[in-house]
Structure 1
Amino acid sequence: MASTPGFEDDVSTKAVLKRYEGLTTVRSKAIKGKGAWYWAHLEPILVQNQDTGAPKAVKLRCSLCNSLFSASNPSRTASEHLKRGTCPNFTANLPKPLSSFPTIRPISPSSLSTPTATSSHHSRKRNPVHHHQHSQPQPLAMVESSRFCEVVYPTPLMLSGGKEDLGALAMLEDSVKKLKSPGGKASPGPVLTKNQAETAFNLLSDWLYESCGGVSLSSLEHPKFKSFLSHLGVPPISRKEIAGPRLDARYEEVKNESEAKLRDAMFFQVSSDGWKPKPHFSSPFSSFGENLVSITVNLPNGTSLFRKAVFTTGSVPSNFAEETLWDSVNAICNGGVVQRCVGIVADRFKAKALRNLESENHWMVNLSCQFQGFNSLIKDFGKQLPLFRKVAENCLKIANVFNSKAQLRAGFEKSQLQELDQVGLIRVLPENHLSGGFSGENFPLICPTLEDIMATARALQLAVMDDSFKLLCSQDPLAREVADIIGDMGFWNELEAVLSLTKLVKTMAQEIETERPLVGQCLPLWEELRTKVKEWCVKFNVQEGQVEKVVEKRFKKNYHPAWSAAFILDPLYLIRDASGKYLPPFKCLTQEQEKDVDKLITRLVSREEAHIALMELMKWRSEGLDPLYAQAVQVRQRDPITGKMKIANPQSSRLVWETCLSEFKSLGKVAVRLIFLHATSTGFKCNWSLLRWVYTHGHSRLGMERAQKMIFIAAHSKLERRDFSSEEEKDADLFANGEDEVLNEVFVDQSV
């Protein structure tokens, strides 16, 4: 009876699978030592039908070269493909050196009996290694004396110097090889072309300069760094060249680029940061008294250029600051028209320098830094709010008791482990900072103490319930007082309130430092602060009057009439009225601020233009800007990094006055000079490494000159990238944001 096609397909499939399973079984036995040697290199595979997917044939694949053969006769395939040298990767027929074979040790024939020898002989027949060696030329001693020999495998090499001798032994063998073949050369590493090597040198030197002392030039001489460069094919580099000719050339290149940008600008603003020292809780230079004043130039197009660094020691008199700033203005103008400098923004509030320069040069607008103003507000709270003083003094008592008494510290650490899985002292200021007791001036430096106590609140509450603490309370009045403070829930509520307000102001200050707002943003910033302070008062049940009084006092100290004028003239803040016009927000100003706008505008123009400028201001107040242009200026887009909505084109405000509002001849000149001014002086931040370098080598003219050039290059690069943070702050952020856990995991993985 004829078979159906489906049945025939099924039979052929079964046959293919049976053949494949059989070959696979044979190969697995051979690998275990119970079959032919060639199965180590030949592997059965199924070939499938492309249409149906069913297996249609069995092939043998050479694992050395991936060639396919018929599976009908594996022995013949092995002889033709492997033994005859057809496979390019099979080296079994090549003679091996004697050192690659096991050590042969003769055995006395009298010690062997015939059955044992026979048994040994049979076992060798079943050994797959023996079959594999059958196809290779064997040492004569091994062929003729195989019945009377035993195989002894070499033991690990033991050297008198331990494992460290292996490197020296390798060098010895390399020397022997070189002597055997004098003409032979070691395999060369990667070789860079001249242009590639020069590019590598430039990138390396730029990184060193822009790290600005963070990486020592002496690191170039480190053996592992040299080895690293050698592996990359980079020729050796001299630190003298990096600190000498190459530094000079790079400095001139950056300086020329900066000067070209400065020449293109019609006017500029000088920014000066560093006059007011910024002591840090853990700064290693607080005792040195060294400080760096960075002077930069802000251009109307939004770019900033570094000018120079001035190193100061201790307190700087006001007249020195005034002379330095005016000398910088003259140097930037290079003997030209000093009216190109339309103002200065600096961080020193109490100095008369800014006021003197502004009164002597009527076209200038000299501002105090808003970042510094908000930070000073925290000191004001510490000085003028009894709540801040009370909380600070109580926290210092707690910290001193638990840090200074060993028997209490043990109980506190036990509670910390239980609650936080870590232990540590409460951070406090050094004694020299608190010799006169608590004051508002040092309140910002006491904030870490408050933060630590809040973070360990539960551990402190457990510690005071310990028997050792109760015993101390019966003897020490201060310990009893501390126990009462910790047990009072009112204290914790007040501590939370103080930390909340401090964080509120610090957060706004950090945003100011990062975003560097323009002068027109000052009034909205302070209004935002007032709103948040009112919300804080309601949340923590604090009387608004006293806190608002502190805020207003600081506002008046920082206020400048240019805040109001820029707020009115900047199209960014135009408000749409009922008729559809976009008009300046005069209704947001007080009467005094409106008068300030008139006074400032008349001061910034010539006497002949004063009345014209005021008439144009009245027209601006009544007509405003074309709605389409006003909307275009105010277009916002989401910042991909922060997620906040920001102005899409910050330059639009100035460009509108220079183009579609060109009929305002006098007022326009004031507007374009006002609305681009920065309200913060934060710029290049010097790292501790460079300050240490200056402190050590400041007496050397050459050392100071090199430091100035490196600072110039580094600052230019940072300002170009709009990177206003220091390396120390970046490292602190890295470990503060939980990424230290990731790093720890990496370290653990490497150690394992």
Structure 2
Amino acid sequence: MLDHHYRIARSESISRTRDALFFQLDSAGWNSDHGLISIAVNLPYGTTVLHRSIVASSRATSDYAEDILRVAIDSVSEGGSTHRCAGIVADRFKSKALRSIEAQNQWMVNVPCQRRGFHCLIQDFASGLPLFHSAASNCSRIAAFFNSHSVGRALLHKYQLQELNHSHLLHYPSSFDPARNFLNVFPMLEDVMGCSHFLQLAIIDEEYKLLCLEDPAARELADMIRDMRFWNELEAVRSLVKLVETMTNEMEAERPLLGQCLQLWDELRNRVKDWRTKFVLEGTVDEIVERRFKKNYHPAWSAAFILDPLYLSKDASGKYLPPFKFLTPEQEKDVDRLITRLVSREEAHIVLMELMKWRTEGLDPLYAQAVQVKQPDPTTGKMRLANPQSSRLVWETCLGELPSLGRVAVRLIFLHATACRVHCSPLMLACARRSRAAAQRVEKMVFVAAHSRFKRRIFVDEDEKDVEILAEDDEASASVEASSM
């Protein structure tokens, strides 16, 4: 049963990649010590297919990742020209493996996953903002006291039971090191925030007041719990983390393209500015955001933004022109440098002349408006492009007078900015590590389940139901075969 499904899914994936003029390699899972590494292929007409998955037994090195990615490029190219690979997006190894492959293949654009880049901001904040350390330290003291002190614990549970009909200890992480792993600590902050009402009731209880007479720690914690500054700081930390998490979740669901990256970071800056205004905090957070932006930035962001007709803006004369006015002078230079790198040396001066024509003449208003038409999504109600492939089609059919620039544009504007994660349950991964044969079966299950989801354009794994259902079917099939022998 499994082998049959796998052969069909594999055959469909190979057929789709074979038909594509070019592709982007998409790899995720490299940050896990004992997880699942996935290698998918993004195709220019909006389809994604899984190439393979690998059960990792340890944290991968950059050299290992580079070897795996090179083999994948050759495999997808089927021994033909690796020029078909327009680039790679991966959630790790930006500075070594991705850069090394890009340096040796000047036609490739290799970028780090933006979802991962935003996610790293949370740890940046924890390391760079005293507010995060203070909130984590104070919550740690509260959780430790009310979990371990008999009177404090009894009072907390008393008021939880009165309103919730159940009680629980405050969450406390197995290891407390917010400067290195803040997300391990964050559930504790959320739990303290969620129990604020019960904590405030506990400290005004007569029994707690008696405890304060003899226990200085109890008095200090009571003062802290009464202090609105503590709760404001805690809410500031919680809301900033949630702000970033919301954007990363949106990215995972929406799968933005490279041309959207600059706008995504601008949106983040605006949201952070609103956050800072709300909580009346200094501007250190802006510096942290800018440092992370510079670490993640790739010149292809600017080039894709300029070349995608989706972002053309109407000027006073009615022309639809590329949005150079939104770039910094250095980003404008990045556009020139990247575009000339992606063509032959003989074409470099030609493509720059075509870029100048694109800059001054833009696109016919009729075509520009057609590209930018949006309609509500029937599922979410959000406004989405009526034809996501129209940007590529415009370059292929309406801009024949810019052939060199057009070849660059169609390879750039379809590139994804986030790596597509493929998940597998811890139980399945544990089974996979029993033997190489078990690992191969799990990898096949993951492939078939991911293939099914990708066909339905479902890219967020809220759970691993597809894999587990397939595993159950496979076990049932195996038991039937065994009983018939």
TM-score interval, normalised by the smaller of the two chains: over 0.9
249-258 or 659-668, which deviates more: 249-258
Identity of aligned residues (%): 58
Alignment correspondent of 1:726: 461
> Of residues 81, 91, 115 in structure 2, which corresponds to 1:337?
81
**What amino acid does structure 1 have at the position aligned with 2:45?**
N
Alignment correspondent of 1:417: 161
**What amino acid does structure 1 have at the position aligned with 2:87?**
G
> Of residues 677, 681, 689 in structure 1, which corresponds to 2:415?
677
Alignment correspondent of 1:580: 318
| Deviation of the 1:350 alpha carbon | 5.7
Mark the CA change 1:717 to 1:633 in structure 2 (over 3 Å): closer, same or farther: same
User: CA deviation digits over 1:630-664, x for unaligned, max 9?
Assistant: 00000011122222211111111111000001221
In the alignment, the residues of structure 1 paired with residue 331 and residue 460 of structure 2 have an alpha-carbon distance, to the nearest angstrom, of 35
> Of residues 553, 569, 590 in structure 1, which corresponds to 2:291?
553
In the alignment, the residues of structure 2 paired with residue 477 and residue 673 of structure 1 have an alpha-carbon distance, to the nearest angstrom, of 66
8 A Cα contact 2:36 2:422, kept in partner: no
Residue 649 in structure 1 maps to residue 381 in structure 2: no
Alignment correspondent of 1:296: 40
User: CA deviation digits over 1:124-178, x for unaligned, max 9?
Assistant: xxxxxxxxxxxxxxxxxxxxxxxxxxxxxxxxxxxxxxxxxxxxxxxxxxxxxxx
Alignment correspondent of 1:615: 353
8 A Cα contact 1:383 1:440, kept in partner: yes
Residue 625 in structure 1 maps to residue 360 in structure 2: no
Larger radius of gyration: 1
In the alignment, the residues of structure 2 paired with residue 730 and residue 707 of structure 1 have an alpha-carbon distance, to the nearest angstrom, of 14
8 A Cα contact 2:423 2:464, kept in partner: no
What is the TM-score with the length of structure 2 in the denominator?
0.93
Map 1:191-340; keep pairs closer than 5 Å.
Answer: 246-277=1-32, 289-340=33-84
> Of residues 250, 253, 257 in structure 2, which corresponds to 1:514?
253
SS at match of 1:356: helix
In the alignment, the residues of structure 1 paired with residue 163 and residue 145 of structure 2 have an alpha-carbon distance, to the nearest angstrom, of 20
**What amino acid does structure 2 have at the position aligned with 1:563?**
W
Residue 461 in structure 1 maps to residue 205 in structure 2: no
SS at match of 1:440: coil
8 A Cα contact 2:34 2:59, kept in partner: no
Mark the CA change 1:643 to 1:727 in structure 2 (over 3 Å): closer, same or farther: closer
In the alignment, the residues of structure 2 paired with residue 730 and residue 715 of structure 1 have an alpha-carbon distance, to the nearest angstrom, of 11
Map 1:78-93; keep pairs closer than 5 Å.
Answer: none
8 A Cα contact 1:633 1:653, kept in partner: yes
**What amino acid does structure 2 have at the position aligned with 1:599?**
R
Gaps of 5+ in 1: 1-245, 278-288, 732-752
SS at match of 1:367: strand
8 A Cα contact 2:313 2:321, kept in partner: yes
SS at match of 1:295: strand
Residue 715 in structure 1 maps to residue 459 in structure 2: no
SS at match of 1:296: strand
Map 1:150-229; keep pairs closer than 5 Å.
Answer: none
Map 1:366-381; keep pairs closer than 5 Å.
Answer: 366-381=110-125
**What amino acid does structure 1 have at the position aligned with 2:225?**
I
| Deviation of the 1:349 alpha carbon | 4.8
Alignment correspondent of 1:39: none
**What amino acid does structure 1 have at the position aligned with 2:303?**
A
**What amino acid does structure 2 have at the position aligned with 1:251?**
Y
SS at match of 1:528: helix
8 A Cα contact 1:419 1:459, kept in partner: no
Mark the CA change 1:719 to 1:320 in structure 2 (over 3 Å): closer, same or farther: same
Count residues in correspondence. 466
Alignment correspondent of 1:133: none
Alignment correspondent of 2:430: 692
**What amino acid does structure 1 have at the position aligned with 2:233?**
E
> Of residues 128, 137, 143 in structure 2, which corresponds to 1:399?
143
> Of residues 271, 276, 279 in structure 2, which corresponds to 1:532?
271
8 A Cα contact 1:686 1:726, kept in partner: no
Alignment correspondent of 1:493: 232
Residue 353 in structure 1 maps to residue 88 in structure 2: no
Residue 478 in structure 1 maps to residue 217 in structure 2: yes
SS at match of 2:35: strand
| Deviation of the 1:322 alpha carbon | 0.7
Alignment correspondent of 2:470: none
SS at match of 1:290: coil
SS at match of 1:270: strand
| Deviation of the 1:314 alpha carbon | 3.1
**What amino acid does structure 2 have at the position aligned with 1:371?**
R
In the alignment, the residues of structure 2 paired with residue 393 and residue 379 of structure 1 have an alpha-carbon distance, to the nearest angstrom, of 16
8 A Cα contact 1:684 1:719, kept in partner: no
SS at match of 1:352: helix
> Of residues 436, 444, 468 in structure 1, which corresponds to 2:183?
444
**What amino acid does structure 2 have at the position aligned with 1:538?**
T
| Deviation of the 1:715 alpha carbon | 1.2
Mark the CA change 1:480 to 1:441 in structure 2 (over 3 Å): closer, same or farther: same
In the alignment, the residues of structure 2 paired with residue 559 and residue 452 of structure 1 have an alpha-carbon distance, to the nearest angstrom, of 35
In the alignment, the residues of structure 2 paired with residue 671 and residue 350 of structure 1 have an alpha-carbon distance, to the nearest angstrom, of 23
Alignment correspondent of 1:219: none
| Deviation of the 1:689 alpha carbon | 3.0
In the alignment, the residues of structure 1 paired with residue 317 and residue 464 of structure 2 have an alpha-carbon distance, to the nearest angstrom, of 50
Mark the CA change 1:486 to 1:680 in structure 2 (over 3 Å): closer, same or farther: same
| Deviation of the 1:413 alpha carbon | 1.0
The root-mean-square deviation of aligned C-alpha atoms, in Å, is 1.6
Mark the CA change 1:594 to 1:727 in structure 2 (over 3 Å): closer, same or farther: closer
SS at match of 2:186: helix
In the alignment, the residues of structure 1 paired with residue 43 and residue 79 of structure 2 have an alpha-carbon distance, to the nearest angstrom, of 19
8 A Cα contact 1:429 1:446, kept in partner: yes
Alignment correspondent of 1:84: none
| Deviation of the 1:291 alpha carbon | 1.2
In the alignment, the residues of structure 2 paired with residue 351 and residue 679 of structure 1 have an alpha-carbon distance, to the nearest angstrom, of 16
Alignment correspondent of 2:474: none
Mark the CA change 1:325 to 1:561 in structure 2 (over 3 Å): closer, same or farther: same
| Deviation of the 1:469 alpha carbon | 2.4
In the alignment, the residues of structure 1 paired with residue 254 and residue 142 of structure 2 have an alpha-carbon distance, to the nearest angstrom, of 38
